[in-house]
Structure 1
Amino acid sequence: MESMRFNRFAAVAALALSLGAAAPAKADLVIEGRAAQALHCVSMLLVISVVLNEEGYLSPRDVEAAMTAAVLMLEHVPGTQNQKMRAVEQRSEKIVRTRSLLQLAKEFDSTARFCERNFL
């Protein structure tokens, strides 16, 4: 789980670079409703793509495609780029902290179509 946590931070950092964001600022806004759903989708996509890449099931090119999709989904979240990145970081940390690998896979499987249909 420790390597997943380290690499998840790498995924968030890569997403931040792709957005041109500076270091994440404290998320000082409340994200609710559809925006919160989009934030959850972004975080799940980032976390699962890192896990699958670590396990050899997802190529670096596929991880890049996941990052692109995450950037598109993040457009549905309000705030500055720094606020969004901090929110993604916080949500991703909670996902990693509260789910086993099996729970993560099941949740992603059950939500991926919803995320794609509503936020891409």
Structure 2
Amino acid sequence: MDKEKYNHLINELDKNNPGEDNTDPYKRLDIQKLPQWWVHAVEVFERHNFRPYQPPRFEDGALKRDVIEKLENDLDLKIQFICFNPQKSECWDVLINGVQISKIGYRRSAEGYTIFEMTSREFKQIVADESCNL
């Protein structure tokens, strides 16, 4: 998915302060036109009465899911971000095919979504470099 294609939705989501959802950012959208993983997340969040789902991103705004899927397809590998206790940890482990290759810091934005603390370009370079060593 191209970030530019969904900028309107991302901008709508960003208008809400944490815990404050006076509007439904999805009400003007046909969510079925979003990628299936996004639709599923929206539905799960709605079912549990959570604030609207906002996908995690890298520092440069690239959606994590899109970056991971492209790398997995291009390099024929499996990438995972794992954190057993995100409330107490300041970083996630990054695994390729089950092997830890790096750690990545994260924070919550004021708008309530997760930002991984490196650009998508930096992340892609780490994965490319480390995948050669596996």
Flag whether TM exceeds 0.5 (same fold).
Answer: no
Higher relative contact order (CA 8 A, sep 6+): 1
More strand by share: 2
Give the TM-score normalised by the residue count of structure 1.
0.28
**Quick check: which has more Rg, 1 or 2?**
2
Give the TM-score normalised by the residue count of structure 2.
0.26
